[in-house]
Amino acid sequence: MFIFVLCVFSLGAVQEAQWFKIETSRFTVYFKGKETLFPQKVARQAESDNSRLWREWGYEESARTDQVKYGIYLFDNRKDYLDATGRSEWSQSAASYGDFRRIAGRRDSKTFLKSELPHEIGHLLFREMLGAASQSLPAWIDEGVALMSESGKRKRFENVLRDAIQSGKAFPLAQLNLIRKPNDLDKESLLIFYAESWSFVDFLTERFGKDRFIRFCKSLVKNGNLDLALAEISSGTYPTAQSIEKQWKYSIPKKPVQL
Ligand SMILES: [Zn+2]
């Protein structure tokens, strides 16, 4: 299941008065109708994902300076979701980063709690962690980090990426770094983009630690120089982006992983 977003939407047509809401310390869950069981599950899961992700990134959530709550809008079905967000047909969920930080999703999605919710929270939290640097984050980092916030992606993405490398369809790292609008890619390339983004973020954070990965992101945004940022994160162990790319692609299992 993939989430085709990059990731701004507007809810201009939505009247907040039409919605019921559940407040938690970090989230407001908006929903319609009388059925509250699922919205309550969403509220609990959102708080749990939020705490987990701050912890996984090595931050004390209590030290968070920005106290703005995130809104989660649960639309009843696909049509209502697409009408309100203007997203493409394939979109399952979206996040908005403006003054109002919002997540939009569908309550009829069977994967919302496991996939879409942690994915979109991952987008929002990482942008908060990076601060101003997040404004011009390359798309592969933005999506790679959000995909890592979900669980259970490894086997499928490793298979996709291994096949792409073997068939010559994988993006060279320099090209991956230049992709600004993944949604403009064709379906096959978009899947490879997601798999590569997840895989390279996973490789860098595993190999060098999340703290250094965040410094890498800030350096990349500040200087716009991938080679320099990679040399910094690896402390010179790998002198060039090409040598890191080689190590990364070498680390992908050579045989299909059983799903
Ligand atoms: Zn995303």
Give the pLDDT confidence of 43-58 residue by residue, as tens digits.
Answer: 999 999 999 999 999 8
Report the greatest alpha carbon distance in the chain: 59
How far, in Å, is the centroid of ligand 1 from the Cα of 237?
31
Q: Which residues make up the CATH 3.40.30.160 domain(s) of the chain?
A: 16-132
pLDDT over 60 at 2, yes or no: no
Average pLDDT, the chain: 87
- Separation CA 66–CA 88 (nearest Å): 31
How far, in Å, is the centroid of ligand 1 from the Cα of 242?
27
- Separation CA 74–CA 94 (nearest Å): 11
How far, in Å, is the centroid of ligand 1 from the Cα of 228?
26
How far, in Å, is the centroid of ligand 1 from the Cα of 95?
8
Mean pLDDT, residues 65-88? 89
How far, in Å, is the centroid of ligand 1 from the Cα of 115?
10
pLDDT over 70 at 183, yes or no: yes
Using CA atoms, how far residue 237 sits from 208, 223, 234, 241, 244, in Å, is 11, 20, 5, 11, 9
pTM of the predicted model, to two decimals? Answer: 0.89
Q: What is the CATH architecture assignment of 16-132? A: 3-Layer(aba) Sandwich (3.40)
How far, in Å, is the centroid of ligand 1 from the Cα of 239?
31
How far, in Å, is the centroid of ligand 1 from the Cα of 124?
10
Looking at residue 138, what is its pLDDT? 95
How far, in Å, is the centroid of ligand 1 from the Cα of 121?
10
How far, in Å, is the centroid of ligand 1 from the Cα of 5?
5
Both tokens of 209, joined, read 């630690």
How far, in Å, is the centroid of ligand 1 from the Cα of 27?
19
Looking at residue 63, what is its pLDDT? 67
**Cα four-point dihedral sign 165, 168, 172, 175:** negative
How far, in Å, is the centroid of ligand 1 from the Cα of 61?
22
